[in-house]
Chain A
Amino acid sequence: MTDAREVVRATGLTVRFGPTVVVDSVSLSLAAGECLAIVGESGSGKTLTARALLGLLPDDAVLSADELLIDGVDVRRLSEADWRRIRGARVGLVSQDALVSLDPLRRVGREVAEVLEIHGDPSSGDRMPRAALDETVTAQLGRVAVPEPEERARQYPHELSGGLRQRALIASALAGEPGVLIADEPTTALDVTVQAQVLELLSGLRDDGLGIIVISHDLAVVAGIADRVAVMRSGRIVEEGTTVEVLSNPRHPYTRMLLAAAPRLPATPFPEPSFPEPSFAEPVEGSRPSTSSGNGPSTSSGNGTSAGSGNGPVLRATGLGRDFRRPDGGVRSAVDDVSFDVLPAAAIGIVGESGSGKTTLARLLLGFDAPDRGSVTLDGQPWSGVKEGRRRSRRGDIQYISQDPLGSFDPRYTVSRIVAEGLRGGPRTSSRSRAARIRALLDSVGIDSSLAGRRPHELSGGQRQRVAIARAIASEPRILVCDEPVSALDVSIQATIIDLLAGLRRDLGVALVFVSHDLAVVATLCDDVLVMRDGRVVERGAIGEVFAHPQHPFTKALVDAVPRMP
């Protein structure tokens, strides 16, 4: 690969905002047919590095570099007009969210054609006649494996699925036949099975001679595609090497921390006893402790459980269904015939891709939404279909942790007031004992009491999620429903929050219902898993069992698609 033509070369690349250095003398090079991954957490400067290579830095950023060559052109002193001739023709950009990057009022084909109209025929630079243009657009869409490219070219972005949109975006980035493609978190917004397809597409393009720089927060994603990895932290590259080197023998402590923090599926095949039966839950006639085995609740698991009894399920869903009206007047079942039990202190993962109904299910369990069919019982007492006024006093028993803690906080409230709202009894308890209780709660989630006076926007993402957890456990709930609680966080923070949740389950005996698209996260935290697709549970069982020997084709695809470290 070393003798291949060099398409990007940067030495001493530095980006400043006023006195603040955000990218600090970064050096990198990329050859044609090579894929370099720049990996780092939020704020590491990886995106700004990529923008610098495209001349797309914010206005107040100051760029300096000893060398900055794109496809052999020195781009350090380029005017905006010169940059426009480079972008699209020599270097292309694919960003995270295709729905935002594609013009909603423009057909997908126009998006690709525009590049060709601006830069002309990639081989000659001449203006392209209409017929040739259409032909090239179709060819480009076909090249990124868009099925029925002629038809897709006439559709609008919102008519395409997320994966097709991302492909269309890649097609438009490649239409000018650039030598370099910069992909900024190209698969982060995609479901795991679609992500695998897009990664496969990118590595195919690389094999055809394209130089690719992938920016990602996820080491596992880049492991499968990158030839070399550069790990960035605080604006510097702390480690660089071939992918195998960096992942198997990381030298820098930060890289080691990132690798250790990344949740992963245990290597397949699972050793059979890797997930012992949880000792805290009394198995209910059968080997699977928390989920009933059939599609309805097993009759053996105690139809006559008395309220609040220690061994009965904390939460039981029976034949839950929820329908939504489609714009065309039809009815779509977001959740259909879902049944399961959650035993005290059990942890159940609910896994599925976007649109599988997992969030709707969580809302039904929480009583935020009423089921059209079936019922939910909490501690043996009816929970769904009960009037909100009678349900209110029991809400402390079931608590909720959302993906977006910032949105779940009143922006005017301080941390201690946020947590205080979760305490039972409201303002009745004396203020001194309340203050002590709030301190204890914050302490138990690892929030220093010096932060108690801060407002939510003054906290980091991880701190916010800790505060949300402190509020949720303030009422000493029996069960926590977590909807993607870590998917918005950096991996290192993700790991600490998962540890915290696991610790709460152990120490407080609180049961967890953990909704996630991320199989690896679910595998580290839960005993049992429900795999959902199109509103139905397609597979269920102990984690080790399901992931090692998936029965349903969808589960198989899901497990296979998880990016793995070599």
Chain B
Amino acid sequence: MRRRFAARAGLIVAALFLVAVTLMAVAPGLFTPLDPLATDTDQVLRPPGWGHPFGTDQTGRDMFARVVYGASYSLGVGAGATAAALVIGVVVGTLVGLAPRVVDGVAMRGVEILLAFPEFLIALFAIAVLGPGPVNVATAVGVAALPAYIRVARAETLVVRRSGYVEAARGLGVHPLRVAVSHVVPNTLRPLGVIATIGIGTTIVAAAGLSFLGLGPQDPTPEWGLLLSGGRNLLAQAWWVAFFPGVLITGTVVSATVVGRRLRRAGEGRRS
């Protein structure tokens, strides 16, 4: 009983955190009246306190405002890249799953080659080809996440394809295209949606990592990875500059994972 309560409390905290971060991304003005780009040379490297709950950085910009405004970049890249990977993954995975065996074999060997490399390495490679910049970071992260989605979508398609209800639809004389649209894709989406929720966390970390390396948005854009990197050299004097962006990244990733796992368990319960 106690364990269940603790798990539930964790889930509620995680969900609330995600809601808060999403609100930051959509309406940062609700959280702070301050401008994340406004410098104030009188307020350089102030520790957290009244007026500046997260302190200020070396040019006197309010860290709380920067973190709040940064949510839209980080979440935007994370959600955008994941959504793109999900959509393309479902389309390609379903097609591969329904395609003749030869096509399936060739496509899956390609996917397996991509899966053999760490996701971050693929993202780095994509950036090297595309060049740095915020949109390219999202693209690179999405490309890196794509193989996993293709693989899961294909596996789910193979399961659904052999299911009794697809055979039943075939027996009813339903056109294969219609079967794919009305039975196969919707039934592969459910498990994929859950994986994507967990995947958002991973994507955010990857995007923040690329920004940290200076390959994403450039200063003064308040992106979490960039903020972290900006605070790196100040860790000795002003821990708060790196600390709070780090907390937000970690919190978002953990929350997305907790919520995603819970959704997965709920989905499994419903299936059996």
Interface residues of A (CB under 8 A from B): 366, 368, 392-396, 399-400, 402, 404, 406-412, 421-422, 424, 426, 471, 475
> Are B171 and A399 interface neighbours, CB within 8 A?
yes
Docked Cα-Cα span, A392 to B173, in Å, equals: 5
> Residues of B contacting A411 with CB < 8 Å?
165, 187, 270-271
Q: Is B164 an interface residue (CB 8 A)?
A: yes
Answer whether residue B12 sits at the interface, using C-beta atoms and an 8 A cutoff: no
Which residues of chain B are within 8 angstroms of A396 by Cβ–Cβ distance?
Answer: 172-173
Chain A: minimal CB distance from B149 (Å): 21
Q: Is the CB of A408 within 8 A of B271?
A: no
> Bound state CA distance, A327 and B270, in angstroms?
37
The residues of B that contact A368 with a CB separation of less than 8 Å are 167, 170-171
Q: Determine whether the beta carbon of A366 is less than 8 Å from that of B171.
A: yes
Give chain B nearest CB distance to A121 CB in angstroms.
Answer: 43
Interface SS of chain A: helix, strand, loop or mixed?
Answer: helix
Question: What B residues does A471 contact at CB under 8 A?
Answer: 168, 172
Q: How far is the CA of A424 from the CA of B172 in the complex (A)?
A: 9
B171 near A410 with CB under 8 A, answer no
Q: How far is the CB of A367 from chain B (nearest CB, A)?
A: 8
Q: Answer yes or no: B169 CB below 8 A from chain A CBs.
A: yes
| Sample (6) of A-B pairs whose CB atoms are under 8 Å apart | A368-B167, A368-B171, A395-B171, A395-B173, A411-B187, A421-B169
Chain B residue, CB-CB nearest to A393: B173
Chain A residue nearest to B271 (CB atoms) is: A411
B contact residues around A394 at 8 Å (CB) = 173
- With a cutoff of 8 Å between Cβ atoms, the chain A residues found around residue B168 in the complex are 400, 402, 408-409, 471
Residue of B nearest to A427 (CB): B178
Give the CA-CA distance A18 to B186 in the complex, in Å: 37
Binary per-residue interface labels of chain B (137-177) against chain A in the complex, 1 for a CB within 8 Å, 0 otherwise: 00000000000000000000000000111011111111100
Chain B interface mostly: helix
Interface residue B183 (Cβ < 8 Å from any Cβ of A) = yes
Known: A426-B178, A475-B172. 6 other contacts (CB 8 A): A395-B172, A400-B171, A404-B164, A408-B165, A410-B182, A410-B183
Shortest CB distance B181–A (Å) = 12
Task: Report the minimum CB–CB distance from A454 to chain B (whole Å).
Answer: 15
Contact in complex: A409, B165 (CB < 8 Å): yes
Interface size class of B (residues with CB under 8 A): 10 to 19
Verify A421–B187 contact, CB threshold 8 A. no
Which chain B residue has the least Cβ–Cβ distance from A422?
A: B172
CB distance from B167 to the nearest CB of A (A): 7
Query: Which residues on the B side are within 8 Å of A408 (C-beta)?
Result: 164-165, 167-168
A383 CB to closest chain B CB (Å) equals 13
Residues of B within 8 A of A392 (CB): 173-175
In chain B between 43 and 67, which residues have their CB closer than 8 angstroms to a CB of chain A? none
With the chains together, A395 CA to B167 CA distance in Å?
A: 12
Instruction: Enumerate chain A residues within 8 angstroms of B270, measured Cβ to Cβ.
Output: 411
B156 to chain A, nearest CB (A): 13
Q: Which of A402, A412, A421, A424 has a CB less than 8 Å from the CB of B164?
A: A402
A410-B186 Cα distance, complex, nearest whole Å: 10
Residues in A whose Cβ lies below 8 Å from that of B164: 402, 404, 406-409
Nearest residue, chain B, Cβ from A394? B173
Bound complex: CA A394 to CA B171 (Å): 10
Query: CA separation between A411 and B191, bound complex, in Å?
Result: 14
Min C-beta distance of A299 to chain B, whole Å: 32
Could you tell me the distance in whole angstroms from the C-beta of B227 to the nearest C-beta in chain A?
Answer: 43
With CB as the reference atom, state the residue of chain B lying closest to A367: B171
With most chain B CB atoms within 10 A of its CB, the pick from A366, A408, A471 is A408
Q: Kindly list chain B residues whose C-beta atoms are within 8 Å of the C-beta of A407.
A: 163-165
Considering only residues 2-44 of chain B, those with a C-beta below 8 Å from chain A are none
Residue of B nearest to A407 (CB): B164
* A421 to B169 alpha-carbon distance, docked (Å): 7
Q: Whole-angstrom distance between the alpha carbons of A249 and B75 in the complex? A: 74
Neighbouring B residues of A400 by C-beta, 8 Å = 168, 171
Instruction: Find the B residue at minimum CB distance from A468.
Output: B168
- Which residue on A lies nearest to B189, using beta carbons? A412
**B256-272 to A contact mask, C-beta < 8 Å, 1/0:** 00000000000000110
Once the chains bind, are A412 and B173 in contact (CB under 8 Å)?
no
Instruction: Please measure, in the bound complex, the distance between the C-alpha atom of A400 and the C-alpha atom of B174, giving whole angstroms.
Output: 14
A421 and B271 contact, CB distance less than 8 A: no
Chain A's nearest CB lies how many Å from the CB of B188? 12
Output the nearest chain B residue to A397 by Cβ-Cβ distance.
Answer: B173
From the candidates A366, A406, A409, A421, name the one contacting B174 in the complex (CB within 8 A): A421
Across the A-B interface, give the 8 residue pairs with the lowest CB-CB distance, nearest first.
A395-B173, A407-B164, A408-B164, A408-B168, A410-B165, A392-B173, A400-B171, A422-B172
Q: How far is the CA of A406 from the CA of B168 in the complex (A)?
A: 11
**Chain B residues with Cβ under 8 A from A421's Cβ?**
169, 172, 174
The distance from the CB of A392 to the nearest CB of chain B, in whole angstroms, is 5
Complex interface: chain B residues within 8 A of A393 (CB): 173
Contacts of A426 in B (CB 8 A): 174, 178
- A421 and B172 CA atoms in complex are apart in Å by 7
Q: Report the bound CA distance from A408 to B167 in whole Å.
A: 7
User: What are the interface flags for B178-214 relative to A under an 8 Å C-beta threshold, 1 for contact and 0 otherwise?
Assistant: 1000110011000000000000000000000000000
CA distance A402 to B168 in the complex (A): 9
- B residues near A410, Cβ cutoff 8 Å: 165, 182-183, 186-187
- Residues in A neighbouring B173, C-beta threshold 8 A: 392-396, 424, 475
- In the bound assembly, the distance between CA atoms of A407 and B187 in angstroms comes to 13
Closest to B170 in A: A368
Closest Cβ–Cβ distance, residue B4 to chain A (whole Å)? 13
A455 to chain B minimum Cβ distance, whole angstroms, is 10
Nearest chain A CB to B177 CB, angstrom units: 12
**Residue of B173, B183, B186 with most chain A CB atoms under a 10 A cut-off:** B173
Chain A: which residue is nearest B171 at the CB level? Answer: A400
Count chain A CB atoms within 10 A of each CB in B163, B165, B169 and give the residue with the most.
B165
Residue of B nearest to A400 (CB): B171
Measured between beta carbons, the chain A residues less than 8 angstroms from B187 are: 410-412
B264 to chain A, nearest CB (A): 16
Per the bound structure, the CA–CA distance linking A426 and B167 in Å amounts to 17
Instruction: Give the docked Cα–Cα distance between A400 and B164 (Å).
Output: 11
| Docked pose: A422 CA to B168 CA in angstroms | 9
Complex: chain A residue closest to B160, CB-CB = A410
Q: Which positions 224-265 of chain B face chain A at CB distance < 8 Å?
A: none
Bound CA span A402–B172, Å:
13
Assembly CA distance A393 to B171 (angstroms)? 11
Nearest B residue (CB) for A474: B172
